[in-house]
Every structure is written in structure tokens, then in C-alpha cells.
Structure 1
């Protein structure tokens, strides 16, 4: 039996009180993270009668596959918290009822605008990844959905403005510095590009509150390969099961009105209102950074999940050494806090109850590398006057991970021995990898040219990375070694001896 309203009422609860609640949230994104973080939090508030509202989830890209599944299940899905919390083992399953429906804006843009003009909508959440929070020129076609998330938000806001309705509390969850302020600036640029009125621009700036935020919860998502186990446990089939750790932190810069609209703290959730900059810095540097460093290295080394990597005799020291020798020294912060946070990261990576797939972390990898790791690279080089060897190794692995064997619609297909994987990235990165790998050969001159061309792509990296002294040579050396000797052998040269066959 597939989870839906009828199955929910028969198998789980006698009724779903959330069905009677008004739609109060417009959410751009319907992926694992938002469903295992924001939508779970809204459920917690609803259970205590503190928020009393539901979410309308908007598909962020034309390639999304979640909305049809979500609507087939009447907005329902199962969230499973698995992990160790305060020394206690947690393995709890709960059907989340806070989403009312999903909308594909590329098919039903009029429905999105209808939601935007609802007096009940108070809050906007988003998580379109770092790649989604960017400015790009787009034509003004109000009758259809813009491709970009800021474009969709700008037109939704304009529709609301024309309806003479109050502005929104806008809470982006993308891991971008000052994400609220940045999103507001892009919306204003869109309004000016499209020659919308100055009064609308003023309304955007003065009648809407854009909050800077920081989010922290590891949400591996769907338990691939364990579908039968979970179906037997739950008593129904759920195509949208989300697995996540118990730990969560949501830091939000908002005023008292925002706290009243979103009474997270009253619901007992780990939400901190105030300056997010310090927490953002340490989290992005020491949790998201090593995640991104590990994704291509670990996958090409033969493991599939973060947990497997932390049990591996070569990959675990890679993560630990990257933290201690390259990431921790690359930013100024209280030393004890950095060390304590890094230790907590290792413990969370070790969580035996979650399967956090490296290929999931590898989605939009170039943008993640740009925002999460390039700042550490620049700072390390400036401080130490040399290239950080493990960052160079990780970057080289990322280039090999982007090697395509076929096209897959808007994306590419890569291959690890007999396993195929999807290379899902920005259009600029996809075009770059496809172009450069198409002319690649194993000759050293070709490797030099290949790396130089990729590093020079300012549209992808934001600058010409060939200008970092020693960086090109370090990347070339690692690409060459990985192609000739293998990924594990190359890593072992940096972190110690590797015994073949040991995992």
C-alpha cells in the first residue's frame, strides 16, 4: 500500500487535523533537506497548536521529480530520525502532514500566483542550493515561470503587491553568506531589469523581511536499497521517506515580529534568533567543507556513503587530517570552539544509522566547492605561502568525478568501474566538463592543458584559479597520480601507507 490520505487514516491516525489548517507557507524547494528540516519543524509547531498552517511546496527546477510523488501521497511522507542524541539511541518514524500539496510552476504557474495572492500566506522558505541563489538575466514573461528561484520570487511578490496584500517573512535556507540580504538584492535587480515600478521596489525593501539564516542538520534522504525493510516496518510504501539525524540547528536573523510568526523556540526546537555570522562561519568551514572535500574523493575511492568513509582506513584519516591541518587553520575563531566543533563533526559523520550518499553531496559540486572551500584555499595560501595538499587532492578528484561517459538530459553520466552515476551541476559546469573531457588524453601535455582550461573558467569559479601560485601544478600532479596509480594510492601518499584490499 502506498502512503496517501486513506492509508494514513487507516494505518496511522484516525484523521489528519492538518487537512483543516490554512496554507500559510510558500516554499521554493521540495527536496529531502526542507522536508526533513523546515517541514518537520512546522509539524512540531502544529502539533502544539503554535503555528497552525500548512506548506505549499514549489518545484524549483524543470527536472524535479518530487512533486508528482508528493501529490500522489496527498502531501504526506515519513520522516525517520536515526542517530545518537545525548547518549541515547533514537530511531523514530513519523508521518509528516505539514505539506498540503506540491506545484510544478513550469506547468501550473497560475497556481503559484494564486497562492502568492492568498491573504493566508505569511512566510516564504527556500532551499534551492547555492546554485539556485544567483543572479542571471532573464526575459520578463509574467505569464510563465522564470527559470531562476529569485525570478519566481520576484514575480510572486509583484503579484502580491498588485493585490495590495501585506509583505512576507522570507527565510532562505541556502548556504550562502548573508543569504537573506543577497536574495533581496537579486529580487530588486530583477524588478529593475523588468522595469517594474519604483513603488514595488520600495515595497519589496520595506514591507518584506528577508532573514539571514544558517541551517544545520544532516539529512541523507531516501533509504535506497532498504525499501523493503522500511515498507515492512511502516506497514505501507512511501516513495518519499526521509532519513535524518536528531541534531538540528536553525539560526535566524529576524525581529520580534518574525519570532511571533514562527514560534520555533516555544515549540522546544533548537532555533536561535540573532547574529548568524559566527555560527555560519564555523559550520560552513568545518562541516559543509569536509563533506564537499570527501564527496568525490570517497566515491572514486570505492565507498558510497559518509559512514563507510569514516570506517575506511584511508578515508577517515583523510577527513581528520583535512580538518586539523587545512580547514581549522584557515579561519580565525576561538581555538577551543573550533576543536570541539570538529570533534562533533567526526561523531556526526560516523552516525551508523544514516546512509548519507556521497553522490547526493556531489550534486552542484562546483558551486559547493566555490562557496564552501575556495575561501579556505585562498586563506590557507595567504597564511602558509603554500598550497594545501589535501584540498588540491580533493579538487583533482572533483575533476575526475566530472568525467562523462554519456549525456543524461540536462546532466551527464559518469562511471566508477561498473557503476554509473549522475553528474548534476550548473549548466556552466556541465558544459565545461563535457567540452574539456571530450578532447582529453592521458599525455602529460594534455593533462596540463585540461587542468589549466578548467581552472581558468571564471563563470564557474568566480576567478581564474591559475593565478593561485602552485595550485595548477598541485592539481595536475594529483590528476596524473589518480589516473596512473588510482585514487586510494594517491590519498595514501598524503596520509600514510595504504594496504590494498583493506576497507
Structure 2
């Protein structure tokens, strides 16, 4: 079977695969990262811009870590790869397959740093994108060597900018626009501060530091799309469908959101919205709240309830009548009213979230959502809990049922070293969280099982822990009583029956 490359004949492609050659375009973007997300999100967006004649530029992808394996594959395929977008869109199952041609080449900076510096010398380069994970957008103490690539991502950016500054004689128009995509709040501001820190520690000139501050833009962004990557579970289906071999085949969902805080000059130079893309320019805080509360919040709200009820994935939970109604009820009745945004936009977002949860192609495991769930509950659901109480003077029953389920989920069967092992029937599962959370829940359950404490005392001891929740939840009138009652029901009747009981109470 022929390998995907620029030599592939267009007439041999099946009708289900779209392809538009963009080889003639200049390199305008340097991108730190070449993984599934960037290829399924940013590089796809640039490809769409180019198709509409709105950007006419290509991407140079830089390998972010010394042990990356994507760059050789990318270069073997002449920068090409297939993106398969699969899911539910406006109530319909869709599957679109397209060869993305926005990447010109990949560079391994650890063996070819001089090529990266050559990119820095190009007057065509305008933008810098990145996704090096949250761990990449951090400080790492390291020495500066002009001939070698720094190990850290911010270090690479600093060295790249310093070389560009020198070669281009500190021209103001040589400054770049940074749009980091790491899931870190105020990611542009964070990257800028890290670059300035490296510049000072590496004793670069005050003039260079002033040039970075005055002539480079670091935009805060928020990204949203699930990109699952290489579809190994059904790769034979794709080989037959495509008619060629693609080792970088990338699968993702149709939904996407890109919120960017930037000036009008950036909007004009990167008119993503004009290509029909779901891009929001301006303050990203409302969209962060929208995503955290109405996408991440329901994920955290559902995971322990649905997992302990016997299902393993988000899709299975949504397909179960009782669990699906539990999730939708909490999202629409309790979380939705707390989000301060245009009603029409909120309703559209909720519709898209439900479609994403019901995507038949995504295996989103509840146990994965449950990692570090105490912190997630605090950041994703406590704000909605407090706002709901303030608005209605009532307790949100679904949100608090999920809090009871979370406490039961953290019931340890045994110690697993750096984590705990819980049990669902005869099946074991891993409880992963920080040491403080695991210690607090272990102590509370031990007092219940071996120290004579009742359920009310169990929940009270957990809910009073300000380190876990940011406040003493027992101070909210009636909260401990409701959570305690739910924990008792789960322990006595099981999760599935308790969910049904909750639903019946809601209809009275």
C-alpha cells in the first residue's frame, strides 16, 4: 500500500478523502509541538485558512522533547497527514476525512538547532503556536549555549527570539505573535514572564528585554477539542477507506472552540473566523467559565456516580436512561443558571456538550476523568454550588449527590503505595490524587469502618477540610445532612438504585 506523501496521485484518492495541495506557500508559523492536538486543531485551522485564501502560509513544527518520534514520520510523509473528524454535529453523525497540508516540515532542535535558528532569521515568520502540555510551560534552570537547543520550551523561545533580535537588528516589525495552547490559565502571560526570566538569568541585554516586551505579543488563549490521535482500534477500516498508509492518521471530534485575547492587528492577520471556524476574539474569561462549568463540571459530576453504577465510559453513561437523565438534569437545572453569559450562546454550548458526550467514536473513560477529582470538584463544581445557593436559596441536589458519590468513590479497599485501590463489586480501580486528599479520605473512612464513627461524622470530617474544598462546607446550612443521607443511600442501596431514588424525588 502506498505511503502518504506529496507524490500521491490525486486521481487515486477515494471520494471520501479531501486533499488540497499547498506546497507553494511560504513558512509563516513556527510551532513548538507536533503532537495529536496541534495537528488536529491548530494545523487544521491553518489548512482551512489557506483553503479560503485568507492566510497563505505554512507551519514549521519543532519537536518539543529529546525523545519525540513524530518529526521523522512527518518528514517521511512530506508534512502530510490525514485528519478524521468523527462525531455528532447538529444531531447528525458525521465523518470527514481530509489530508492536511499546512505543515512544511518538522525539525528536531536537539540535533538540528541551526535549522531552528535559520527559521528565526526568516522575515516571513509571524506567529508562534505551541502545546507542550502544562508541564512544558514551567521554569527549568539551565545554562544558555548559543550552539545548542535549550531543553525547556520557554528557554527555546527565549533563544529563538534572541537570535532573531540580533539578526534583524532589533527591528520592531521583527516581533512575533505568540498563541500558546497549553491548558494553563493566562498562558500567554505565563509564557511572557518565563521568557523574561530566562533573558535576565542568561544576562541578555536590557535592550533585548525591552524589544521582547514592546514588540512581541503574548496572547492568552483557551482551546477546546477532543483529539484522540491514531485510531489503532479500527486502523484496518481506515486503510481500506483511504487506500494508502498514514502513520500519522489523527482522529478527533468535529466540535472546536478557540478563544483568543488579542489586538485588532492579530485579528486582521489571522482571520480564523472568516474561514467559518468557531473562534472567539476578545476576553476569554467568559468562555473559560463556560467550558469549566458546563463541560468540565458535568464530567466531574458524572464520573463517580456513573462508574460506581457500573459503566466505564461517558458514552455508556449517556446511553443509560437513568444516568443520562442524571447528567443532563444536573447540567441544565443546576449548573446552567449559574453561568453568566448570553442565553442563546449557553444553550448552543450545552447542546454541543451533550453531542460530544454522546459521540459514538470517543471512548472517554470515567476512571481517567476521576484522576485528581478532589481538586477538579473544587475548581469545577464548588463555584456552581455556591452560585446556585445564592440564586435560589436552595441546595443543588444533583451536584451534592455527586459530592456524596465522590466520597464513596474515594473509599479505599487497600493502600497502593502512592495511590489507593477502591473496589466496584469484584473489580478494583485506582484512586489517584495528591497526598493530602488521599490521607484525609483514608482517615475519614478508617474512622467510619474501624473507629465507630457514623456516616454523618464521616461526611462532616471530609466536608470541613478547607485544604480540600477551599472552605468548610459544613457551614452551609443543611449541606452535610443531605450529603450524609446520600452516602447512606449509596452504601445501603447501591449507586444505581440511589440515582433512581434521586430522580423520583426530583419529580415530586
**Which bin holds the TM-score, normalised by the shorter protein?**
0.7 to 0.9
Give the alignment of 1:44-443 within 5 angstroms. Answer: 44-60=48-64, 66-67=70-71, 69-86=73-90, 89-103=93-107, 111-129=115-133, 131-132=134-135, 136-143=138-145, 149-164=153-168, 166-192=174-200, 194-295=202-303, 298=306, 302-334=310-342, 337-352=345-360, 354-356=362-364, 358=366, 372-373=380-381, 375-376=383-384, 379=387, 388-393=399-404, 395-396=406-407
Root mean square deviation of aligned Cα:
4.9
Which position in structure 2 is the counterpart of 1:4? 4
Number of equivalent positions: 484
Deviations 1:467-501 (A, max 9, x none): 4323997999989988998665665565569xxxx
Cα offset, 1:300, TM superposition: 6.0
Deviations 1:373-409 (A, max 9, x none): 45445655776686841452575488579x99699xx
Show structure 2 runs of 5+ residues with no match: none
State the SS of the aligned residue for 1:225: helix
Tell which structure's C-alpha radius of gyration is larger.
2
**Cα separation, 2, equivalents of 1:272 and 1:252:** 6
**Structure 1 range deviating more: 337-346 or 367-376:** 367-376
User: Normalising by the residue count of structure 1, what TM-score does the alignment of the two structures yield?
Assistant: 0.74
**Cα separation, 2, equivalents of 1:420 and 1:18:** 51
- Structure 1 residues 63, 261: CA separation in 2 closer, same or farther (over 3 Å shift)? same
- Structure 1 residues 230, 416: CA separation in 2 closer, same or farther (over 3 Å shift)? farther
State the SS of the aligned residue for 2:321: coil
Deviations 1:146-175 (A, max 9, x none): 665444433433343343361111112344
**Structure 1 range deviating more: 312-321 or 326-335:** 326-335
- Structure 1 residues 347, 157: CA separation in 2 closer, same or farther (over 3 Å shift)? same
**Cα separation, 2, equivalents of 1:317 and 1:275:** 33
**Cα separation, 1, equivalents of 2:253 and 2:262:** 26
Cα offset, 1:221, TM superposition: 3.8
Cα offset, 1:47, TM superposition: 2.6
Show structure 1 runs of 5+ residues with no match: 498-503
Deviations 1:24-55 (A, max 9, x none): 22223333332222111111122333323222
- Structure 1 residues 229, 110: CA separation in 2 closer, same or farther (over 3 Å shift)? same
Deviations 1:131-152 (A, max 9, x none): 3475x54213234666654444
Which position in structure 2 is the counterpart of 1:470? 474
Does structure 2 conserve the Cα–Cα contact (< 8 Å) formed by 1:432 and 1:454?
no
**Structure 1 range deviating more: 32-41 or 442-451:** 442-451
Which position in structure 2 is the counterpart of 1:501? none
State the SS of the aligned residue for 1:18: coil
Cα offset, 1:207, TM superposition: 0.7
Does structure 2 conserve the Cα–Cα contact (< 8 Å) formed by 1:70 and 1:102?
yes
**Cα separation, 2, equivalents of 1:481 and 1:154:** 57
**Cα separation, 1, equivalents of 2:415 and 2:75:** 34
State the SS of the aligned residue for 2:160: helix
**Cα separation, 2, equivalents of 1:386 and 1:315:** 20
**Cα separation, 2, equivalents of 1:56 and 1:454:** 50
Cα offset, 1:110, TM superposition: 5.6
**Cα separation, 1, equivalents of 2:67 and 2:458:** 30
**Cα separation, 1, equivalents of 2:428 and 2:68:** 20
Does structure 2 conserve the Cα–Cα contact (< 8 Å) formed by 1:404 and 1:437?
no
**Cα separation, 2, equivalents of 1:159 and 1:456:** 54
State the SS of the aligned residue for 1:142: coil
